[in-house]
Structure 1
Amino acid sequence: MTDVSATTFTDDSPGTPGTHGLCSISPVRGSSPVPATLDVTDFGAAPGSRSDAAPAVAAALRAAGAVAGPVVLRFPPGDYHFWPDGAQRRELYVSNTVGDDSRYREKTIAVLVEGVDDLVISGEGARILLHGLQTTFAVIDSRRVSVEGLEFDFAVPTVVDATVVDGGVEAGRAYRVIRVPEVTLFSVEGRSIRWHGEALGSGAVAWEGRDALEYTQIHDPSGHRTRRGPNPLFDDVWSIKAVGDREIRIDYDRSEEPADLGVVYQMRLTTRDHPGALVLDSSGVTLSGLRFRFLHGFGVVAQASRDVTIEDCEFRSPPGSGRHTAGFADFVQFSGCSGVAAVRECLFDGPHDDPINVHGTYLRIADQPNRRTLVLEYAHPETAGLPQFSPGDLIEIVERETLQAIATATVERVRQPSGRDRTHPLRSIVLTVGSELPGDLTARAAVENVTRTPAVHIARNVFRNVPTRAVLVTTRRPVVIEDNRFERPGMAAIYVSGDAGEWWESGPVRDLIVRGNEFVEPGGPAVFVDPRNARADSAYPVHRGVVVERNRFVLRDVPALDAKSTQGIRFRDNSIVRSGPEAWDVVLRSCTDADIDEPTLRVTELG
C-alpha cells in the first residue's frame, strides 16, 4: 500500500494521449522565459460596463494564442458582463449532462481557451457576470494553463432560493410569506408563480418554469443542514399575491399552521444543459483562487484531461444576498482523467449534488462480432458522445453482476464518437483489441479504460450544506483524502461505489487512505464503501487496501465506516464521539483481512 503525501504525490500511469492529442507535461530546463502580458481592456473590454465583454475577451485570447511563449492575460478589477448572443459556441458532449439529446449539443461558452499552451489568466478583483445559460469558461486542447483570482456569477441564477419569512392562520386559512433574492425574476399569474430568466436579444427568456419547478431541496440555516425532500409551498393553494418587490404571500385551502419559518426551499429545473466550467482534452491545468458564486448545469468538469489541480477556490453564494445555492448540480467532477486529480484548500458550500466526484465510465458490451472485437454502448442516458479510448490503452472487462475482472487487453483500433460532432454514432463504440477475448461477453460484461484513471489528492477542504455525499471516488490508482472537514452532509461523507448497472461510474479502489479528517454528523456512514455488485462473495472482493486512520468522528446514529466486498481494511487511531442513540461503529459486509485496532468499538460483520 502506498503512503502518498502532499509533497510526494505522483502518478506512474502512462501518458493519456486522448483523441485530440493530449501529452504529458515535460520539465522546463534552464531559466524560464519572461511571459508576455496582455490586458483584456486593450482589446475593448470595459470593466463596469454592461456591454458584452465576450468579443473583446475572445480577441485577447486569440492574441495570446499567437504569442510564441508564455503569456499572462490580465482582467483588471471590475465587473465584466458576458451575454450569450455574441458568445462562442461549440458542439460538445460532456459526462453526466444531457447525453446525446440534440437540443443541447451546442454549448455557449463565455471564456474559451482553445489550443493554447503556457497561459495564465489572472483576474484578482474581477467578476465575470454571465447572462442567460452559459458555461463560465472552457479550457480545450491546451497545456499548462492557469486560471487565477476571478469571480464567476450569474445575473439570474437558475435556482430559486425561497425563504419562508412569515406564516400562520388567518380566517381559517394557513398562509406563508416567502422572500426571494433580488436577482430572482418572477411574475404572479393567478394562483401560480412563473419564474424566469432574463429576456435576451431574441426577446425570449433564457429559461422559465412554474411554482415548485421540477426539483427541490430544503435548507435549514439554523440547523446547518440541507436535504432533499418534498416541497409544500404550492400544495392546496388558495391564492398568491406579491406583497413587495421580493416577497410573495401564498394562502392555502387548509388550516394547519406552517411550521417551517426560516426554511429555504431551493427549486430548479433538472436539465443539465451545460457544464458549469470545462477542462477537456488538456493537461497541466490549474484553477486557483477562483470564487464560484453560482454554476449553472453540471459544475466544473475535467474530462479526458491529465494533471488537473483545483486549489484555494470558493464555491459559495454571495454572503448577505439571500441566496444559498452555489451550484445547479455537482461542484467538481473528474471523468476519464489521468495523472493526478488534486483538490486542495477549497470551500464547498451549497451544491445541489455531490461536491467532488472522481470516476471513469463503464461501457456495456452490446455485441461481440468476433473474439477480438467488441461493440460497446453508453448505458446511462446522461452520458454519450464522448471518445473513451486510444490505441495502446489498456482495458479491463468485468462481470456486471460481480464487478470481477474477466480479462484485460490492449486497444488496437477504435471507431467512436469524437465528442465534438455527430459524424459517428453517439451511443456506440466499436473496439478491436490485440488479443483474443473470452466469448459470450454480450450483455453480461462491461469495459473500463484502465489507462484513463487518475491518482487523487483531496486535502484541507471544507464541505457545508451538502444534501448528498461530499466526496465520491472510484479509481484504482492511489487516493489520499486528508485533513478535510465534513459538516453534516445529508448522506455519507466519503462514498466509494462503482457500478455497471445504474450510473455506470467505473473503477475499483486499490489504495485509499482516509486520514486526519473531521466528520461532523453525516446523514449516512461517514466512510461508505459500497460497490453495487448484485452478487458479493468475500473471496472475490471488489475493493482493496482501504485505510481509515487518525480521523475524528462526531456521529449520531450512523457508523464511522460501513464497507462491503472490500479486502484489507485498516481502521486505526480514530476518535469517535456519539451524541445520539447507540449504533455500530464499524459495519463490515463480505469483507476479509480487516484489522480494526480499537477493541472498544462496536463492530458487526455481515456476510
Structure 2
Amino acid sequence: MTGARENVSEEARPVPVLLDVTGFGAVPGSRSDAGPAVAAALAAAAAVGGPVVVRFAPGEYHLWPEGAARRELYVSNTVGDDPAFRVKTIALLIESVDDLVIVGEGARLVLHGVQTTFAVIDSRRVRLQGLEFDFAVPTVVDATVVDAGIAAGRAFRVIRVPEATLFAVEGASVRWHGEVVGSGGVAWQGWDALDYTQIHDPAVGRTWRGANPLFEHVRSIRSVGEREIRIDYEHAEMPADGGLVYQMRSTTRDHPGGLVLDSSEVTLSGVRFRFLHGFGVVAQMSRDVTVEQCEFQTPPGSGRHSAGFADFVQFSGCSGQVAVRDCVFDGPHDDPINIHGTYLRVAGQPDRRTLALEYVHRETAGFAQFAPGDVVEVVDRATLEPVASATVEQVWQPSGRDHDRPLRGIVVRVDTELPGDLAGWAAVENVTRTPAVHIARNVFRNVPTRGVLVTTRRRVVIEGNRFERMGMAGVHVSGDADEWWESGPVRDLTIRGNEFVEPGGPAVFVDPRNSRSGPGCAVHSGVVVEGNRFVLDGVPALDAKSTRGIRFTGNHIVRHGRAMPDVVLRSCSDADIEAGAGERPPRVTEIG
C-alpha cells in the first residue's frame, strides 16, 4: 500500500514547463548581451505559475551591465546606508518566483563591469544547478613576481598579471581598470597597490595579509610584454619575494557577489564561481538554504588566484536549516563561510515595552530585522549575557528595498515589560532568525582568514572537512556587540572528523568579544571537539574563552616546530579534556 501511494503521488506531481534561454534570443558563443534574453526567459518562468525549468544550453553567455536589472537593496556587511551604492546591478534576477530550476551544465556566464551574479528575492523552492559564473575583468589584481634582482646598482622586479587584467602604465604608476562600459568610462579603476593587499605563496599553498612592497620607492615603471611590468626602485635592496603573488583590490563592497533575500528553500548545486565581486554569496533573512557541490575557485590555467573579493558565502539572519557540503573554497579575500545574526544597540527606551534600536557598524544597515511574533533577547554588551527576552508585537523599521524610512533605526514594541535604562549598555538579537547548520566534506585552501566563522544558538555540526593552512583559525566562534556586531551565542556545536593542517592561529578558536568575563560568566556552551586530526606548528588545537561544558576528546594531534599547549582555556568551566585512544594526554593551559 505504501508503494501504491508513492506512485500515485509521483503521477500527480505536475510536469515542469521547460524554457530554453536560446528560445528567447540568447546566442551561446556570442559576445553580444544575453541579458535581455535571459531576463525574458525568467519573466516567462515567473508567469507560468507552476514548476518550471529554465535551461542554458552549453556555451558562453556574456552579460553586460547596461541592460541588467537594478534594485535598491541593503545587504549585510557591504556598504551600509551609503547613498552612493544604494542600487545594485544584477545579472540574473529571480524575483517573486516559486518552483523554479535553472540548469546549465556546460554553460559559462561571463559578467562585464561590476554586477551581482544572481539574486533570488521573495521566492520559494528555487534551484540553480550546473552554471559557471566568471567576470571578464576581475576586480582583484593578481600580480606574480616572475623576476627580481639588482641592475646598475638598483633593485628591480618584473611582475606578471593574468590575461584578464587590464592596465596602463602612466609615468611611474600603474593604473588598473575595468572595461569601458556604456557610459564611455571604465567600470572601475585604481592605481598601484590599490587599497588592500594579501600575499599568496603558491609553492606552499598559504595566503596571508601583509604589506605590499611592489610600489614603494619606485624609480620607474615600464611594460616589458603584454602581461609583464618591470618596476625599478631607488634602492639596492635585493627583493626576496620571487614567485609570490600580490593580490590587490579596493575595499568598497559595493555589491553582494550573489544574493538570496527573503526567500526559502533555495539550493545552489554544482555551481562554479570563478570570481565573485563584492561580498560573496549572501543569504539574508532567508530560510532553508543549501550550497552543495559548488566550486569557489579560479579557472585552471588562467594565472589567477583570487576567486573572491571578500567572503565566499555569508548567512545573515537566516533560519531553518543552513547546509554547506561537498564544496571547494579556494582563494577568497575573507572568510569562506560566515554565519551570524546582527546585534542592534539599544539607543533609547521610550517606555518599558518599547525599544529604539540602531545599526552601529558602518557596513550594515537598512534592512528589516523583525516581524511580529519573533522572540528577541536583550544582552549586556560587556558580558554578552542575557538580561531579558520578549516577543515582538509591533515594529517600525526600514524595508531593505528603499530609503523611505531611517536606515539605521528600528523601533520594536514587545509583549512584556523590560528592565529600565537599557540604552547604551544593552543590545538586542532576534533569536527566531537563527539557523541550524551542517557544514560537511568541504575543502578550504588559500584562505587568509578563518575557514568557518559561526555564531548561532541552534545545532551546528561541522564534520569531515579539510582546512589547509588557514591564515587564522579553521573554525572560529566569536560574537560581539562592540565591533562587527555579529550575534550570538553557540549552544550546541559539534566539530568532528575534520583535518586541520598547519593553521596560522588556533585550529578551533572560541573567542567571544566580551569585555568582562570570569568562570561563572559563560557566553558559549555545548562545544564538542572530537575525532579530529590536527597538524600543528606553534598554535593550539583549541583555544576557548568564556565557554561552559567544552568536551575535547578522541583527537589526534601531530606537532612539529614550536611547542605549544594543545588546549588553552580562558575563563572556562566544566571542561572535559581527554586523550584519544593510544594518544598522550593533551597539554592544557588554564587561565582565569
What TM-score do you get using the length of structure 2 for normalisation?
0.97
Partner of 1:600: 585
Counterpart in the other structure of 1:22: none
Cα deviation, residue 448, structure 1:
0.1
Aligned counterpart in structure 2 of residue 440 of structure 1, from 421, 444, 462: 421
1:215 pairs with one of 191, 196, 200: 196
1:388 is matched with which residue? 369
Q: How does 1:41-120 map to 2 (within 5 A)?
A: 41-120=22-101
Partner of 2:274: 293
Match of 1:302 among 254, 272, 283: 283
Deviation at 1:30, TM superposition (A): 7.3
**Alpha-carbon distance, 1:579 to partner:** 1.2
Secondary structure class of the residue paired with 1:85: coil
Match of 2:117 among 136, 154, 163: 136
2:557, 2:11 → 1: CA distance? 51
State the distance in 2 between where 1:507 and 1:555 align.
Answer: 29
**Residues 174-573 of structure 1 correspond to what in structure 2 (within 5 A)?**
174-573=155-554
Counterpart residue identity of residue 279, structure 1: V
* Superposed displacement of residue 201, structure 1: 1.0
Tell me the distance in 1 between the aligned counterparts of 2:389 and 2:12: 44
Distance (Å, rounded) in 2 between the aligned partners of 1:100 and 1:164: 39
| 3-state SS of paired residue (2:66) | helix
Distance (Å, rounded) in 1 between the aligned partners of 2:67 and 2:15:
33
- Take 1:516 and 1:537, find their aligned partners in 2: how far apart are those partners? 31
Deviation at 1:559, TM superposition (A): 0.3
**How far, CA to CA, are the matches of 1:69 and 1:29 in structure 2?**
16
The answer for the alignment partner of 2:5 in structure 1 is none
Q: Per chain length, whose mean CA-contact separation is higher, i.e. which structure has more relative contact order (CA < 8 Å, sep 6+)?
A: 1
CA positional deviation for 1:540:
2.1
Question: Residue 490 of structure 2 contacts residue 525 of structure 2 at CA under 8 Å; is this kept in 1?
Answer: yes
Cα deviation per residue 1:131-174 (whole Å; 9 max; x = unaligned)? 00000000000000000000000000000000000010011000
Can you list the C-alpha shifts for 1:564-598, whole angstroms capped at 9, x where unaligned? 00011000100000011210000001111100012
Partner Cα separation in structure 2 for residue 202 and residue 492 of structure 1? 44
d(CA) in 1 for partners of 2:27, 2:301 = 27
Tell me the CA shift for residue 500 of structure 1.
Answer: 0.2
Take 1:369 and 1:230, find their aligned partners in 2: how far apart are those partners?
A: 48
| Counterpart position of 1:17 | none
Task: Report the Cα distance in structure 2 between the residues aligned to 1:148 and 1:415, rounded to whole angstroms.
Answer: 38
How far the C-alpha of 1:363 sits from its partner, in A, is 0.1
How far did residue 34 of structure 1 move? 1.1
Matched, 1:579 2:564: no
In the superposition, relative to structure 1, how do residues 65 and 478 fare at CA in structure 2: closer, same or farther (>3 Å)? Answer: same
CA distance in 1, matches of 2:14, 2:507: 48
Q: Distance in 2 between matches of 1:539 and 1:253?
A: 59
Residue of structure 2 equivalent to 1:3: none
Identity %: 75
Letter in 1 for 2:560: S
Deviation, structure 1 residue 264? 0.2
Q: Contact 2:578 / 2:585 at 8 angstroms: preserved in 1?
A: no
Structure 2 Cα separation of the partners of residues 328 and 581 of structure 1: 33
Q: TM-score, normalised by structure 1?
A: 0.95
Give 1:29 deviation, angstroms: 8.8
Please say if residues 457 and 489 of structure 2, whose CA atoms lie closer than 8 Å, have aligned partners that are also in contact: yes
CA offsets per residue over residues 338-363 of structure 1, 9 Å max, x none? 00010000000000000000000000
- Contact 2:341–2:456 (8 Å) recurs in 1: yes
Q: How far apart are the structure 1 equivalents of 2:10 and 2:98?
A: 17
Aligned to 1:9: none
CA distance in 1, matches of 2:526, 2:396: 36
How far, CA to CA, are the matches of 1:117 and 1:528 in structure 2? 40
Query: Deviating runs (4+, > 3 A) in structure 1?
Result: 28-31
Match of 1:122 in 2: 103
Post-superposition shift, 1:69?
Answer: 1.4
Separation in 1, partners of 2:457, 2:13: 35
What residue identity is the alignment partner of 2:453?
L
SS of 2:39 mapped into structure 1: helix
Q: Partner of 2:6 in structure 1?
A: none
Structure 1 gap segments, 5+ residues each = 1-27
Alignment of 1:144-183 (within 5 A): 144-183=125-164
Q: Distance in 1 between matches of 2:18 and 2:402?
A: 35
Does the residue aligned with 2:557 lie in a helix, a strand or coil?
A: strand
Please say if 1:32 is aligned against 2:2: no
Partner Cα distance (2:252, 2:562) in 1: 40
Q: Identify if the C-alpha distance between structure 1 residues 551 and 50 changes in structure 2 by more than 3 Å, giving closer, same or farther.
A: same
Question: C-alpha separation between the residues in 2 aligned to 1:509 and 1:430?
Answer: 27
Q: What is the CA-CA distance between 1:68 and the residue it aligns to?
A: 2.6
Q: Report the residue type matching 2:512 in the other structure.
A: P
Q: How far apart in 2 are the matches of 1:207 and 1:312? A: 32
> For 1:275-295, what per-residue CA distance to the aligned partner results, in whole angstroms no more than 9, with x for missing partners?
000000000000000000000
Residue-pair matches, total: 580
Question: Secondary structure at the residue paired with 1:395?
Answer: strand
CA distance in 2, matches of 1:224, 1:357: 22
